[in-house]
Structure 1
């Protein structure tokens, strides 16, 4: 009994100390932020707190069931709160407000001029080393580096993303979507749920990355099941497992346990351990194989690993390039980062765009008219001829990303020094070690930027002028009004990759199929369409954006030859 009391006393003391220290940190951050003279929101937890990121949602759900929390109010402690809030908080509080927590002060802005200044001032407004450490699982990369180190990464990786790679992406995507068409049409009107659709989109994205990134070819139907000699799982399967683990922040944990003997690793983590080890082995052998091909004078291929390794080897030879080349770990880190970012961006965009084609049949007809016109004029097989003409198809991707941003906010960081930022018409001194997060969702739904129809899904807003089908002009905002691939010097280097893949996928799909809402028994087409719309827009953001009820609605795919 005495031991139990002692244990309870110790637990109470630790809990009290933890709570007191959090209160002190909260008060300290409040005092620091008060001179900014912007609205302050006080919260005991933060989405930047690792404990709260994992445990916050179930804790809040439990509190709601007990009547101690209201899930209908904005939860500023979750990473995805801007997705549902859109512009509401900024409409009420202004272009900038601060969320004060015990962890870090987070100033949230929807001021385009301030955002533009921060994107361009990338040396002052850095990426938090602590926050971005999870992306360094295989080595530092262009996403996590800062300052001169980032410039070094950018120089090498930019050289790897050439037009030849875009042609590979175009061809690989068309092959994969051929498999999608065979599967979906072959279901003969059977429902394809939003869950199944997301899975198929992820398979397409991963296979395209394996082809255009690493020269590994996989058939859509059989997936990444082929195990190469000397390996326990295929490269594609290992990469997919690691990418999925990254989505729930397990890669850092997995790297820790990967160093342990297998007999002490929990069964639930053994599959991840194998995947981590296999990806490391694959990347190492692929880089060495490309170096050997270079030594033998073999002509380079257009895939990502070939161009990246060769660009890095050339940098080693240059007189002015000494010290700028990437280390092997940095090569691995960048290859994995491109896979992670490319997979999530494209698969997410496709998984929302396709059901929206069923929700908005007028949009589907509008895009298909362009696809048919381009197919009749130049065909859809050749990237160089077809891609520049498919502006309506690309507009669908932009409008989808405006509604379903892969990143709700972009957290910039002042680092060790305070920074000056113009907010609300006056210069503010932002304290050191403070986050300033650019609210992508709010900017994308600011009626002052997008007009009174800001909440309408209307891809035609991206088309300028009245050109003939296949000859229309695509128009994007001049500044930081749209942030689908970020903005400025540190914008996503894989932007073209994802755009080409999405455009090729939608064009191929619509050239063969008509997408309709799946109907329940006794349900009209309009009722099915409304249900699909509600389910598609009901999303939650836990690391990545996900449909809340992926089995609650779906689509059917009908061959155009049968319509």
Structure 2
């Protein structure tokens, strides 16, 4: 009996291996027909939990036992998706092409850093749909604009788009200035030379409070230690809106992955309660907003939720969103919106601390915009285009190029082959091929970005590739040879009709994706980022904190050379953390570490 079981097991393994080899051979033949380079990998990234476990185990072994991969095109280098940030443009440079395949027995992935191909893939929504199965875990409250496709997506987009109006953006501008002023008071409590150890957490609290107020009319305190009081809650509620939302976002992973019954029986029981309570709060708010519309009180519905409720119906209808779909969309917009803005603000603050000369130019540009006026007197309609076209806009654009919120955008070939033009020839992409739009890689593609700025040339320098440097000047139109309008603007680069800034080719700049499925809240996010930076840097400077490298010597007692050396060490530490400690937490974030900075009042 044991021998028979062993024989059956061996035959099963042999049979599986033969099928895998035959599948691999078939996939290689399909890829060869395209004429594009390819690299064979043993595991298909999108093959479920087993593939994820294999990739995680391999990465662990590489950190502990195995030597690092010898080449950026080694199969070990290209497993998973984190390589897009770790290697940037290197694999494409190594293979000598801006498009290449990774081929496994279970499927094929086309990785692209080619703006022309990216433009085709993102604009042809029906031929290259979004693989919505990758987003099912965030669909915790109901169908929404992120996790739907085809007719469902069109219906969601129809009712979600009006929520992001200029009237709402004006509210975002005002709320951002107000909440950022509040944050600055906590930063400078008792001293305006405090070391900030939690910029990332502070920015998440800031952007969460902004989107909660401008999006849903709900005030969330910036106090990290705020406690909800049960006596102040309406009957039937055990957690406040703020407390339930903060707890939900802090423990989001188990809520997204585990079944509800399992969460309720585990150590994450409080998370299950937070999930239920926030949903209950939101459903109550939807009913309240709808009642305001019925009563003709439209002025109370400037925020995002008010506009969503305006087009909602209690039951399924082609003429509106259901209450569950309104809450589902509200959650996705809140989650993605505050994570995107908080990450960009965090990274921009650190980059400006690393580049004090850029920070000084930013402050000079802000002074020109303000002309001695108080922040709360700035008129959004009159100032927003001016801000976006100034050095402030160049700084934000460069920060989004240097460290984009999302490093890769997945697409999929439909269940029939699709033709695309690659470098002047038409090729057929095999059916069901996954496409990885490598955002961080195309942002470093030297063929499409101004470089060698010292000589005011748009031609890449052979001696030095400066695309790994933070240089906002590359966005200033007069530093490139291209004339305004030479390139069609991308969705991210032309949100405010910026004639003074460089316009990359379509598909080269993707901080908010591109095409019909581009980020619906990109203007909301940019307004928020601009307003926060102007509020902070009009009053303060933020420097790298060098205390860790001062060897216990007070800064005022250090010589100029000692200060310079300590700053260089702090700067190198920040650079290494950007390179080695970044991970995907909804968006690209620094994980397990931080870059300490010091806030200093401007003279």
Same fold (TM over 0.5): yes
Is contact 1:465-1:472 (8 Å) kept?
A: no
| Residues in 2 aligned to 1:274 and 1:385: alpha-carbon distance in whole angstroms | 45
CA–CA distance in 2 between the matches of 1:540 and 1:6?
50
Q: Which shows bigger deviation, 305-314 or 435-444?
A: 305-314
Which residues of 2 match residues 75-474 of structure 1 at below 5 A?
A: 75-93=77-95, 94-186=97-189, 188-193=192-197, 196-222=198-224, 225-226=227-228, 228-229=233-234, 230-245=236-251, 248=253, 250-254=254-258, 256=259, 258-259=260-261, 262=264, 265-267=265-267, 269-299=268-298, 300-312=300-312, 323-376=318-371, 379-381=374-376, 382=378, 383-390=380-387, 391-450=390-449, 451=451, 452=460, 453-465=466-478, 473-474=500-501
Residue 142 of structure 1: CA displacement? 1.5
**Whole-angstrom distance in 1 between the partners of 2:45 and 2:127:** 23
1:324 and 1:15 mapped to 2: Cα distance?
54
Return the alpha-carbon distance in structure 2 between the equivalents of residues 24 and 367 of structure 1: 59
Closer/same/farther in 2, CA of residues 59 and 233 from structure 1, 3 Å limit: farther
Inter-partner Cα distance in structure 1 for 2:392 and 2:403:
17
Change (3 A) 1:432 1:465: same
Q: Greater relative contact order (Cα 8 A, min sep 6): structure 1 or 2?
A: 1
Shift of 1:458: 1.0
Q: Residue 593 of structure 2 corresponds to which residue in structure 1?
A: 550
Question: Is the CA contact (8 Å cut-off) linking 1:141 and 1:337 kept in structure 2?
Answer: yes
Could you tell me which runs of 5 or more consecutive residues in structure 1 were left unpaired when the two chains were aligned. 317-321
2:247–2:271 CA contact under 8 A, matched in 1: yes
Helix, strand or coil at the partner of 2:588: strand
Distance 2:414 2:110 in 1: 14
Question: Residue 409 of structure 2: SS of its match in structure 1?
Answer: strand
Cα distance between partner residues in 2 of 1:312 and 1:443: 39
- Secondary structure of the 2:538 match is helix
- Looking at structure 1, the residues matched to 199 and 44 of structure 2 have their Cα atoms a distance apart, in angstroms, of 33
Change (3 A) 1:68 1:475: closer
Distance 2:140 2:8 in 1: 36
1: CA distance, partners of 2:28 / 2:164: 45
Q: Specify every segment of 5 or more residues in structure 2 that has no aligned partner in the other structure, as ranges.
A: 452-459, 461-465, 480-497, 552-561
Closer/same/farther in 2, CA of residues 411 and 370 from structure 1, 3 Å limit: same
Structure 2 SS opposite 1:429:
strand
Q: TM-score, normalised by structure 2?
A: 0.81
* CA distance 1:69–1:445, change in 2 (3 Å): closer
What is the distance in 1 between the residues matched to 2:94 and 2:22? 29
RMSD value over aligned CA atoms? 3.2
Give secondary structure in 1 for the equivalent of 2:467.
coil
1:500 Cα deviation after fit: 0.7
